[in-house]
Structure 1
Amino acid sequence: MIEKTLHAARRTLHARHTLLGLLAMAVLMLPAWSHAKVQMLDRIVAVVNDGAIMASELDERINTIALQFQEKGQPLPPPAVMREQVLDRMVLERMQLQLAERGGIKVDDATLNQALAGIARQNGMTLEDFAAALRQDGYDWAQFREQIRQDMLISRLQQRSVASRIRITDREVDRFLSSEMGKKMFEADFRLGHILVRLPAGASPEQVQAAKQKAESLVERLNQGSDFQQLATSESDGPKALEGGDLGWRPAAQWPSLFAETAIDMSKGEISQPLRSGAGFHIIKMMDRKGGIEKVVTQYQVRHVLIKADALTTAQEARSEAMRLHDSIASGQQEFTAVAAEHSDDPGSARNGGELGWITQGEMVPEFEDMMLNTPVGELSPVFESQFGFHFLRVDGTRDADMSEEFRRMQATQALQKRRFEEELETWLQEQRSESYVDIRL
């Protein structure tokens, strides 16, 4: 997935180093900064189904992670631990990219360029300036583009495979809002640290007991003063192990229920006892907490056109039709409302000239939201793809809105969806890993 936390422009040496560190942290690219010329034979370090991960790929990714640690001033974990952690992450990435390819999921150059332009804007640059800044720091622009493409492919795969199965009913929202837990969970944001002691699918009682004992031992070490980030880096099987287990900030209601129900009463700095899930035993640390959600939010007035592929229309034909309609509006030949009413495959908005009403961030699927946030008011977006088909949109205006009961219900729905998504994603990844052929040859 695309990292949204790349920060302000690098116009001084300090800013350049900050950007470099954040890019490395997100593991968005393979570096070109090493000047060593070592002659060596490549070899396979892992086989993932019908694909292979080479030692050279692993070494390049390790170099990127090492750069992250250097930028943060953190000691590196032992080499063997580093190689195992990085390779495990690469295996999961490769497995998902293979699934995306088999599912026909693609990210075209126009969509990729729009995403890159959004990243550049977050850094206060044009796309050309951003590319030049990366090249100046020694990074390969083509490799950076391909890593972003891969992140987008994985995000789309997860949306198609996991998010599409999640349905939140009005009754669930009502129950959540009326519960004591629901009321408390809108009162705080948490920043959590995480350590996972993983269990394989169908673990034996002996494996469960061994994992539990290891988790309890880690809690004991933490309570005796061991550094959480260092222990997470060296011992955790979680997806953020190489970031010291830092899961970042999130409203309390959006954490998986296993975490939220424990964290809601934790104080800053407190360590939980091991929490059992299907993935293994989790240890969480309350790294920080703060007050509740904002009372005022920005909303976007958006209209769009959707063209779907179906039994009679291929994806390429749907894309071409969306491009044709987009260009007819951009050139002034047709009005947006007329095109939407006649051609859009979204019946709910087509009858209103493509009008979707006022949208709050978090309501739409990621591809739509990213485009909405990165399209200036009054301008036509490029054609882009989501799980529903091919869209283009126009943002007609923005406004700041007070938090209302409707907004509170929307926030509750999003929180339940995000919580369910993370729980389902963890299970889905475990299932896919167990069904894949993975041969580690370290």
Structure 2
Amino acid sequence: MSRIGAWLLGALLMTQAAQADMQPLDRIVAVVNDGVIMDSELDARVNDIAAQFRADNRPLPPLDVMREQVLDRMILERVQLQMAERGGIRVDDAALNQALEGIARQNNMTLPQFSERLRGEGYDWSQFREQIRNEMVISRLQQRSVASRIRVTDREVERFLQSETGKRMFQADFHLGHILVKVPGGATPEQVRAAKQKADDLVGRLRGGADFAETAVAESDGSEALEGGDLGWREAAQWPSLFADAAIDMQKGDISEPLRSGAGFHILKMIDRRGGGERLVTQYKVRHVLVRPDTLTTEEQARQEIDRLHDQVASGELTFAQAAEQSSDDPGSARAGGELGWVAPGEMVPEFEQMMQETPKGQLSPTFQTQFGWHFLQVEDVRETDMSDRYRDLQARQALQKRRFDEELQTWLQEQRAEAYVDIRLNPDS
């Protein structure tokens, strides 16, 4: 008994000593409405972005700057994901796998090869999947909340094409860099002056030879700051009018003056420009079958129905035209056996366009999801054609819609961020 008592006493003392040495393994770094962001989540995201910097041979910004930038991005993501959940916006595994297969194809790999490649580079595959799912959910939320409010009339398209600016804008593509010095909503005149002074100072440094990407990482309040402010390539007409009007006369390497908007002061760099002359456009003769969820058909039932129809067409049990005429929920094309005619880039939603471009001529595509429901398609023919007046009208409409979407999106994001309850606790003592 004495030996047992001694053992119990020793175990108790060891437990007490272990408890005395225990340190918290995780902590809250931000409260976002009724959710939280943990330090471990922030560290994981920072580590992923740091790995991207190293892979691109870019110098890392100071850790505190990176953590603040990443946390601000995560807060905005969390606000949108909470809104999407309340609105019933979800991305199921089938749609997620379809998107991941598309990413793998863009990298000339199968999905298993892509997964193995990421694991080999140190990424957690399950976390990567969920990050892509979240990005898809946020994209659908933005389309529902912002794009649905944007309307472009025929008269606006006509005026744009007739304007000197419109004519010049279709002659070039821009690759822009961007730095934002944010001005909060309801800012005082002193805050506006301070932001303008900071923007002027940044322009001076950049024109004096400072590296644009490094400056964007360290100083920009824009969502693309951690990518060095790189906004990528777009046709000139598709940039927000504030950017396009400033960039139209800029040459490669030029830095703009600060440009004022509701979000703050923007600084642009013309990384590169190209274009001019006529363009050949690839058009696709395509047909599809659509099954749309509704009050009587759940998402899962719609997916099962499109899979059943796809299998029947693939096996020869039904012709494509029969499947469309009997079961497609797109009344316009169903009566024509699913025919959509000749389709040019920009006419369809992105998921449809991507599948159309990736499906070999004459073959049946996999089933896939868009905002309208579940589809499969077949590309009957492909041709190259000169840019027509109709295509220019379409491009002008798309450009105006994209301009307004980008402008409205920034305003909408600021509104959602301002309305959310956010308590940042980056300092461990707070």
Normalising by structure 2, what TM-score? 0.89
Match status 1:97 vs 2:81: yes
Structure 1: how far apart are the matches of 2:278 and 2:365? Answer: 29
For the residue of structure 1 that corresponds to 2:288, the secondary structure is strand
Q: Structure 2 vs 1, CA of residues 238 and 297 (structure 1 numbering), >3 Å: closer, same or farther?
A: same
What corresponds to 1:228 in structure 2?
Answer: 212
Structure 1: how far apart are the matches of 2:380 and 2:186? Answer: 52
What corresponds to 2:373 in structure 1?
Answer: 389
Q: How does 1:42-121 map to 2 (within 5 A)?
A: 42-121=26-105
Letter in 2 for 1:439: D
Structure 2: how far apart are the matches of 1:338 and 1:72? Answer: 51
For the residue of structure 2 that corresponds to 1:390, the secondary structure is strand
- For structure 2, which runs of at least 5 residues remain unmatched after alignment? 1-22
Match status 1:208 vs 2:192: yes
Deviation track 1:192-238 (CA, whole Å, cap 9, x = no partner) reads: 11110112223233322222222122122222322221111111000
Structure 2: how far apart are the matches of 1:70 and 1:132? Answer: 20
For the residue of structure 1 that corresponds to 2:72, the secondary structure is helix
What corresponds to 2:121 in structure 1?
Answer: 137
Q: Structure 2 vs 1, CA of residues 411 and 434 (structure 1 numbering), >3 Å: closer, same or farther?
A: same
For the residue of structure 2 that corresponds to 1:237, the secondary structure is coil
What corresponds to 1:435 in structure 2?
Answer: 419
Match status 1:302 vs 2:267: no
Structure 1: how far apart are the matches of 2:117 and 2:277? Answer: 36
1:43 Cα deviation from its structure 2 partner: 0.5
Counterpart contact for 1:189–1:293, Cα < 8 Å: no
Decide which of 261, 279, 286 is 2:263's aligned counterpart: 279
1:294 Cα deviation from its structure 2 partner: 5.9
Structure 1: how far apart are the matches of 2:60 and 2:246? Answer: 31
Match status 1:164 vs 2:148: yes
Structure 2: how far apart are the matches of 1:315 and 1:131? Answer: 27
For the residue of structure 2 that corresponds to 1:311, the secondary structure is coil
Q: Structure 2 vs 1, CA of residues 183 and 207 (structure 1 numbering), >3 Å: closer, same or farther?
A: same
Range with bigger deviation, 375-384 or 158-167 = 375-384
Normalising by structure 1, what TM-score? 0.87
Q: Structure 2 vs 1, CA of residues 365 and 77 (structure 1 numbering), >3 Å: closer, same or farther?
A: same
Structure 2: how far apart are the matches of 1:140 and 1:398? Answer: 39
Decide which of 416, 424, 441 is 2:400's aligned counterpart: 416
Range with bigger deviation, 150-159 or 382-391 = 382-391
What corresponds to 1:407 in structure 2?
Answer: 391
Deviation track 1:228-264 (CA, whole Å, cap 9, x = no partner) reads: 2111111100011111111111111111100000100
Structure 2: how far apart are the matches of 1:311 and 1:111? Answer: 21
Range with bigger deviation, 93-102 or 191-200 = 93-102
Q: Structure 2 vs 1, CA of residues 227 and 133 (structure 1 numbering), >3 Å: closer, same or farther?
A: closer
Range with bigger deviation, 326-335 or 406-415 = 326-335
Decide which of 176, 180, 183 is 1:199's aligned counterpart: 183
For the residue of structure 2 that corresponds to 1:41, the secondary structure is coil
Range with bigger deviation, 263-272 or 207-216 = 207-216
Structure 2: how far apart are the matches of 1:234 and 1:286? Answer: 19
What corresponds to 2:323 in structure 1?
Answer: 339
Range with bigger deviation, 82-91 or 304-313 = 304-313
Decide which of 112, 119, 133 is 1:128's aligned counterpart: 112
Question: Identity over the aligned pairs, expressed in percent?
Answer: 70
What corresponds to 2:169 in structure 1?
Answer: 185
